[in-house]
Structure 1
Amino acid sequence: MSADAWASSVRDRDRLLHLLQEYGVYAALTLLFAVAVGLDTSFLSVSNVRIQLFQVAPTLLVALGMALVIGTEGIDLSVGAVIALSAAIVPLYLGYGLPLAMAIALLLGAVCGAVGGAMVALTRIQPIVATLSLMIGVRGLAELFNGDSAKPVTDSALLALGSDSFAGVPLMAWIAAGCALLAGLVVRRTTFGRQLVAIGDNRQASRLSGLPVRRVLIAVYVLSGVLAALAGVMIVGHGAEADPANQGLTMELSAITAVVVGGTPLSGGRVRVLGTVAGAHFMQLIAAVLTQHNVPASYTQIIEAAIICFAVYASQERGTR
């Protein structure tokens, strides 16, 4: 092969990878939805659509926070444990009203995020190590508060948050959509968002140019913790029980999957909020379709792993850094 032909093939490959990274998740989501409807027309029923929205809302909330963290070239493995802590704390304060109970849960989520962010920004511990240690400690704390058995929740306000709808759409989905809109505005329209992306693209250069690197990093992890805590409140309301030993398990993996499939590179320097929304729905749709057709969970995990590998390949090959 001549040098010109080789260069042309490389350009074609890069162009294809660019299209896949930019629009692949939307095309895949559309195709998968068409296949799901073709296999079972009842998939479009109102009850089934509501079920899908209920299930994807907490994952989307956590994925939005994860996208911001990954945009700084970080990772937050503590989000599942923060969900468990939120699930353990909310029932303890429901006697004082849902607003106060939620406020305490979100505050604790912010504290967890601040601790993880401080370890990354101030002591320069690798994000995966810092948040892994936080994940272990926070889940243990959650089980200490709640015990190792599930406890029923009967507060009507919390149960309404987890099961009621507005205009036919679950309240949980409205909240997740509002958070997605805010995240998009923050990334695209604010100085903080531009600083976040710049730090992920080149942290050393950002530091030398005078950007508040430490402050931004801590703030990003705080936002991730708050969104995870909010997801925990929703999960308790929807399931009508607090079970920190099991709630939030593997949620960090689901969130990372949604972010990566949505086109945000693990190398940082970019945050695709709309892609993250599509990625969360895509992965939820895959699980729903396979489950409805009695495909074993092991096959679902294999398929999800293959999708993640392909998404990471598509984002890294183009040299997004």
Structure 2
Amino acid sequence: MTVDNLRTQLVQVAPIVIVALGMALVIGTEGVDLSVGSTMALAAALLPLYLGYGLVPALVMALLAGALVGAVNGTLVSLVGLQPIVATLALFVGGRGLALVMADSQLKQIVNPDLLSLGTGSFLGIPLVVLIAGVLAVAVAFLVTRTTFGRQVVAIGGNRSAAALAGLPVRRVLIGVYVLCGVLAALAGVLATARLTASDPSSLGTLMELSAITAVVVGGTPLNGGSIRVLGTVAGALLMQLLRATLIKHDLPDSTAQIAQAAIIIAAVYVARERRSR
């Protein structure tokens, strides 16, 4: 693989890594967030509406939208008591529909040079999107291993009832986790839009939830919570992107890559189950 090819693959996988980091936190609490793809689309739809006021207001509105989606998901899970897959399914459907309404169901070209530089710019030869993903990976790893919040997330995922009896703020932590996941998904939507130079809510983020879950599971984070493997999540995303690129390079259809991805998920879940049973 040439340097240019490697650079392209890293740029393409960066948004997946960012979304997968948020998904890892959610799965660490024994949950799941199916709305991350729709959150990306919602952030992309908001950008053209506020870029006229400058890059910073547009970014703030996009990230606030992600935080709002996460807050709704977290509230439905922690306060209403819905299963995570049910709670987030509502915004999986409704979020993209709202994004399409905001964008009038049309693709809109992005001409703001400051935003486009996020998708095409580089620092010391490293693409900015890759640097952002790397910094966020380090930040999430620090959050999980070195902060009280991270320890609470792991404890709640391990045994929610015991965590509540121990006096941990279960509801507040769950809402915080889903808000973080929403913000990271919105940021991934912004970066993907900057790279594509267009806002396309109809397709941006499609199947992203599956890619993120795959990266988390392949990376070694168990679906029943209680553990978060940040480095493994990043490695899982890179592995799946490399697999897809390799198959496409050999003139195999994208459907073959999806089948291979499904097989890897099954294998990863099986290995994790066997490891826990020993």
TM-score (normalizing by structure 1): 0.85
CA apart distance, 1:134:
1.3
The share of aligned pairs that are identical, in percent, is 59
Mapping of residues 157-236 of structure 1, within 5 Å = 157-236=114-193
1:270 alignment counterpart:
227
Q: Cα offset for 1:104?
A: 0.8
Aligned to 2:18: 61
Unaligned runs of 5+ in 2: none
| Separation (CA, whole Å) in 2 of partners of 1:99 and 1:285 | 34
Q: 1:123 aligns with which of 68, 80, 99?
A: 80
- Give the Å deviation of 1:135: 1.1
Determine if the alignment matches structure 1 residue 78 to structure 2 residue 60.
no
Instruction: Look up the match of 1:136.
Output: 93
Give the aligned partner of residue 12 of structure 1.
none
Letter in 1 for 2:275: R
Counterparts of 1:242-321 in structure 2, within 5 Å, are 242-319=199-276
Structure 1, 298-307 or 154-163: larger mean CA deviation: 298-307
Aligned partner letter, 1:233: V
Q: Which residue of the partner structure matches residue 63 of structure 2?
A: 106
Report which stretch shifted further, 298-307 or 106-115: 298-307
1:237 to 2:194 alignment: yes
Cα offsets for 1:251-298 (capped at 9, x unmatched): 000000000000000000000000001000000000111111111222
Q: How far does residue 318 in structure 1 lie from its aligned partner after superposition? A: 2.7
Q: Distance in 1 between matches of 2:258 and 2:147?
A: 38
Structure 1 residue 213, shift from structure 2 partner: 0.3
SS at match of 2:105: coil
**Aligned alpha-carbon RMSD (Å):** 1.1
Q: CA deviation at 1:95?
A: 1.1
Secondary structure in structure 1 of the residue aligned to 2:252: coil
In the aligned structure 1, how far is the partner of 2:239 from the partner of 2:59?
29
1:35 aligns to what? Answer: none
User: Is there any run of 5+ residues in structure 1 with no aligned partner, and where?
Assistant: 1-42
- Alpha-carbon distance in structure 2 between the residues aligned to 1:298 and 1:229: 27
Distance, in Å, in 1 between the alignment partners of 2:259 and 2:195 is 28
Q: TM-score, normalised by structure 2?
A: 0.98
1:198 match: secondary structure: helix
- Give the Å deviation of 1:173: 0.4
Give 3-state SS (helix, strand or coil) of 1:147's partner: coil
1:98-117 Cα offsets, whole Å, 9 max, x none, are 11100110011001000000
CA distance in 2, matches of 1:300, 1:138: 27
